[in-house]
Amino acid sequence: MSGPQQENLHPETLAIRAGRTISEYGEHSQGLFLTSSFTYESAAQAAAMFLGEIEGYTYSRFTNPTVSAFQQRLAQMECGERAIATATGMAAIQAIMMTLLQAGDHIVSSQSLFGSTINLLANQLTKFGVTTTFVDARDLQAWRAAIQPNTKLLFLETPSNPLTEVADVAAVADIAHAHDALLVVDNSFCSPALQQPLKLGADLVMHSATKFIDGHGRVMGGAVVGNDKLIEQIYLHVRTAGPSLSPFNAWTLLSGLETLHLRMEKHSANALELARWLEAQPNVERVYYPGLESHPQYELARRQQKSGGAVVSFVVKGGREAAWKVVDGVRVISRTANLGDVKSTITHPASTTHARVTPEAREKAGIVEGLLRVSVGLENVLDLQRDLALGLD
Ligand SMILES: *Cc1c(COP(=O)(O)O)cnc(C)c1O
C-alpha cells in the first residue's frame, strides 16, 4: 500500500489529495482500517518490525494506515515535515509538554487561552515542577521580560479564545529563538486554511482537530506538526503513553480536511457580516473580530491570516443578566460551548469555558460577565442576526 507523493500542489488540492493511501482493492475514498493490531507473514518479519529494522504496521496505538493518512495530509497542509495525531487537542498540548520539558523548566505563554490550556499550565504541570509565566500575547516587551534562563518553550494561541487577540507569530518566534527556546502555536482557530505558523517561524503547531478540521462537531482529535526531529520525539511519547487518535476519528477528520478551505472562507464571510451588524446594535458595547477595521490589530491580522475566521465575541450592556438573555433567546443558534461547527454556536465564557478559572484570572484575561462568544457557522447570516436580535432588543 502506498500513497502518491505530492509535490508543488496548491493547498486546496493537498487538502483533498495529500496522504491518501490506496490498498490492494483500489478504493477511491480513504479506507478505514478499524483494527487494533496487524499480522505478520512470519516470526522473522514480526521480530524485524519490533526491532524497527523494517517499517510496517504493528499496533494502532503506534501506527495505523488511516491515522497515518491524516498525519501526512495535515503535515503537508501546515508546510511541516511530519505530524503526530492525538486523541484530543488537550492531549496534543500535554504530549508536547511531557516530551519537551522536565522538572525545573519554564514556559512563557499568552494569558488569553482556551480554559483547559490555562488549567493544564497553571495547575497540572506545576505538580511536575514545570512553571509558566502568562503574558499579554500582544506585548512583545512582556514576552522578552518573562523569559528566564530555564525558559524552554513559548506557547500562544492566535487569534485567542474568546477575545480574538492577535499575536505576532514571527516576532514571538524571533524572541524564542534568541533564547534557544521553542515556539508552539495553537492553530485551532484559523486552521492551515487561513494561517500557517510554521512558515512564520513557529517550531511546532498544534490543533484541536475537534474544531474546524472536523468542522461538523462529530469527533474529538488533535495533532502536532513540525520538523522530523521534534515530531519523532513526540511520537515516541504518544506511542508509549497512549493518547493516540482512533482510526475512525482520523477517517472522519480526513473528510473534514477535504472541505476545510471552502468552509473557512464561508465561516469568515459570515462572521465578518455578523460582526459588522453587531457593531451597529445599540445594546452591544464592543465587538471583537480580527476582520473588523476597528480591531486594534487589524493590520497584523491581515498580514498573518487569510481572513478573520469564524469566532466573533461581543460584550452586551448589562452584564451577566443581559448576556444570558441573549443566550436564552436564540432559536437557531445552538447553546453549546463547542465551536468550529457548520452550525453556529453561542456560549457565555465566564460561566462555561472559563468557569473553572479563578475570577481574578478571568478578569485579567478580559472575560467579563457581559461577554458572549459566537462561532459563526454556515447558515444564512440573516437568520443568525434575527436570532441574536431576539435577546438583544
Ligand atoms: C478546543 C480547544 C482546545 C482543546 O481541544 P480538545 O480537542 O477539546 O481537547 C485547545 N485549544 C483551542 C484554541 C481550542 O479551541
Over residues 277-295, the pLDDT tens digits come to: 999 999 999 999 999 999 9
Q: Mean pLDDT in the chain? A: 94
Write the burial class of residue 149 (CB in 10 Å: 0-12 exposed, 13-18 middle, 19+ buried): exposed
CA of 114 to the centre of ligand 1 (A): 7
Q: Is ligand 1 within 6 A of the CB of residue 95?
A: no
Q: Please state the length of the chain.
A: 393
Report whether pLDDT(361) > 80: no
HSE-CB for 20 with a 13 A CA cutoff: 17
Nearest CA to ligand 1 atom 1: 208
Counting ligand 1 atoms within 8 A of each CB, the residue from 88, 210, 352, 374 with the most, and so the one to mutate, is: 210
C-alpha cell at 277: 451588524
**Do the beta carbons of residue 159 and residue 313 sit within 8 Å?**
no
Q: 82 - beta bridge partners?
A: 226
Q: Is ligand 1 within 6 A of the CB of residue 214?
A: no
Q: Is ligand 1 within 6 A of the CB of residue 373?
A: no
CA of 83 to the centre of ligand 1 (A): 17
pLDDT band at 121 (very low <50, low <70, confident <90, very high): very high
pLDDT tens by residue, 49-68: 888 899 889 899 999 999 99
Report the sign of the C-alpha dihedral through residues 297, 116, 230, 78, in that order. negative
Domains of the chain: 8-258 (3.40.640.10), 261-392 (3.90.1150.10)
**Do the beta carbons of residue 213 and residue 260 sit within 8 Å?**
yes
Q: Is ligand 1 within 6 A of the CB of residue 215?
A: no
CA of 186 to the centre of ligand 1 (A): 9
Q: Give the DSSP H or E segment for 255.
A: helix 247-258
pTM of model > 0.75: yes
In the chain, what percentage of residues exceed pLDDT 90? 88
